[in-house]
Amino acid sequence: MAKSCAEQAIVLIAPGEQSLSWRRCGTIWSMRKGIGVSPGVAVGKAYCIQQIFVNPETRTLELGEVLGELSRYDQAREQTAADLHALYQKVRKQVGEQDAAIFQTHEQILRDPAFTAKIRNWIVDEHMSAAMALDRLLREYTEFFSHTEDEYLRERLADVRDVVIRLSGHLSEMLEPEGGMPRGDLILIADELLPSQVVTLGDRTVSGIVTQAGSGTSHAAILARSRGIPAVSGLRGVLRHVKNGDTVVVDGREGLVVVNPDPEQLSAYLKLQREFFDLKDALAENRDQPAVSADGQEVQLLANINSVADARAATAMGAVGVGLFRTEYLFLTHPDVPDEEEQLAAYREIIAESPNRQVTIRTLDLGGDKTIPYLGHAREANPFLGWRSIRLSFEHPEFFMKQIRAILRAAAKTNSEKSRVRMMFPMITTLEELRKVHTMVKRAKEQLTAEGKPYGNVQIGLMLEVPAAAVSIDQMLNLVHFVSIGSNDLVQYLMAADRDNPKVSHLCQPLSPPVLRVLLSVIEACNFARKPVTLCGEMAGAPRAIVLLFGMGLRSFSMSPAFIPIIKDLTSHLTVRRAERVLRKALSLKTTAQIQDFMAKQIAEIAPNLKMLDTA
């Protein structure tokens, strides 16, 4: 039987190939191969974000529009200045004068005559929109700073970028709703998506996401999976080959992106897209069914969330609770510094909207690629191995204490047989850090007691993502009530490979032999000590990984809400005996590729209906 054009297209590009392929079914067209990071097929119109920090219109202004654009820029500039002044005052009060000084620097940049003159001259002389001029300015600064060896000057680029982001935000608020955006379903094309940009998607109909940078555990990938959006990352140069309004196909399972397909191919992919939607709809019907294996083993399926909207999605998808609430998104998307009362209100709302009011709240996991200016953003050679997460929180004890207090207070009157709030600390590396955490929680309780403010009896947990903690897990279990395995970071630290770097992201494979052996040792240690253990990395939403983790004895998984129906269906086909047999075979294989191929065949046998949603 002849293969469809879509199937023929898939086999034309070897795994890992990223160059353009020009022939399909005897026709010339454009296809690129990247990393499939969120399964499914989407067809829509391209919406290109040429510069990650601003979203400029490319249309040249008419002469009669220039004065209005100057006024719009001046208004955005004054609003930005007011933001920075208010932020300086608030950070100075909550964090300290030294940390607040960054916003005085930002205001000086904003009011720099040369900065403003460039923007105004480009609007007047070249009829650029203000957003377009900002984009050009940032590219000029980036080019200039990239050629200097002066460390101080290179760090100033981050300050310029922050100012441009704030200006662009105010300009975007003034745009007409359409804003030059193509109508209908959008395929978002960008260099990358940062955590602070997640909120900017709002309620827009984004059908697919394509990024030049990133990997299966990048923030763009996590965002896409949380919303059930097909996505491809690591597709370098795509912005040079795609323009706004192009018809684009995103095949998140195979990692393929097709630009302006011919009618025959478009028809084939539209059929695959309908099948993808039909499968998701069918799986969603299991929402109210318990997660139980074929031989009666109960499985706990939890959700990873960033917001109240995600908490509601978790309930809609049938999660029994929230296994990971990432609190840093509250800080990244807040216009200034959320104080204790604002945090308290946010956490209470999350608890109220979460399935069964069961929530594990992770304290701030900032640093690396997630920064907020008021906690510093000094340039580091290896930011993921540097001043981040719990290390940064310890450096700002009073700021950190406000979050601990807010979480404790939010848990008041919520803990019951069904309702439960837990607090988890990220990137714990040593026993000393755990002891310090306990000391701070104890101090927070003493403060609240003295102030007459009620608080809940919150369990303390460790997020295991550093190999050192995995090696010494036996010693740490006595100091925690539960363990959550953060497989995203654990894999990249174990393999010494930045998961967002396309040149080495191929090393960040969860199904690699060393990763599986470390996970097995941690899960066995937790089960032996009778300490609850959950895996809350992106592995938890991967069918191939679930079979192996189930065979290791893991029964609690926390994932993007969109994956809960898929994993619930998969577990209903599993038995302990088969999963253990599959695990033994996988552990005997020598390479990642062998394990991936073996597990793909196992998924096809165990749950053939999930083949379209299975990714490596």
Q: What are the residue boundaries of the structural domains of the chain, listed by start?
A: 5-52+191-281, 63-174, 290-613
Q: Are strands 256-259 and 186-190 parallel, antiparallel or unpaired?
A: unpaired
How far apart are the C-alpha atoms of 392 and 58, rounded to whole Å?
40
Judge if 5-52+191-281 and 63-174 fold alike in CATH terms: no
Amino acid, res. 275: E
Amino acid, res. 249: V
* Residue 144 neighbours by CB distance under 10 Å: 12
Give the residues of the chain that fall short of pLDDT 70: 1-29, 50-59, 95, 98-99, 146-155, 172-184, 193-204, 214-220, 223, 333, 335, 367-384, 386-387, 414-419, 500, 502, 615-616
pLDDT of 327-371, one tens digit each?
Answer: 988 887 676 778 899 999 999 999 999 999 999 999 988 765 566
* Residue 365 neighbours by CB distance under 10 Å: 26
Please tell me which residue in 5, 106, 170, 219 is annotated as part of the active site. Answer: 219
pLDDT at 39: 84
pLDDT at 300: 97
Length, in residues, of the chain: 616
For 285-302, b where at least 16 C-beta lie within 10 A, e where not — what string?
ebeeeebebeeeeebbbb
Residues paired with 251 in a beta bridge: 41, 256
Please tell me which residue in 5, 48, 526, 536 is annotated as part of the active site. Answer: 536
Amino acid, res. 393: S
Of 516, 523, 439, the C-alpha closest to 483 is 523
pLDDT at 280: 81
β strands within 318-464, DSSP E: 322-326, 358-362, 420-425, 459-464
How far apart are the C-alpha atoms of 244 and 59, rounded to whole Å?
12
Return phi, psi of residue 52, to 5°.
-65, -25
CATH of 290-613, one of 3.40.47.10, 3.40.140.10, 3.30.9.10, 3.20.20.60: 3.20.20.60
How far apart are the C-alpha atoms of 523 and 520, rounded to whole Å?
5
pLDDT at 51: 45
Return the SS3 of 350.
helix
pLDDT at 217: 63
Asked if residue 411 lies in contact with residue 375, where contact means CB atoms within 8 angstroms, the answer is no
Instruction: Give the CATH H-level superfamily of domain 63-174.
Output: PtsI, HPr-binding domain (1.10.274.10)
Of 188, 214, 213, the C-alpha closest to 201 is 188
Return phi, psi of residue 613, to 5°.
-100, 5
The alpha carbon dihedral of 378, 382, 388, 390 has a sign of: negative
Q: What is the CATH number of domain 5-52+191-281?
A: 3.50.30.10
Asked if residue 225 lies in contact with residue 232, where contact means CB atoms within 8 angstroms, the answer is no
- Helices 130-146 and 151-174 cross at an angle (nearest 10°) of 170
Residues paired with 292 in a beta bridge: 298
Cα 324 to Cα 193, 215, 353, 384, 461: the distances in Å are 21, 21, 14, 20, 11
* Residue 74 neighbours by CB distance under 10 Å: 14
508 is catalytic: no
- SS3 for 235-285 is CCCHHHHCCCCCEEEEECCCCEEEECCCHHHHHHHHHHHHHHHHHHHHHHC
Of 387, 388, 394, 391, the C-alpha closest to 440 is 394
219 is catalytic: yes
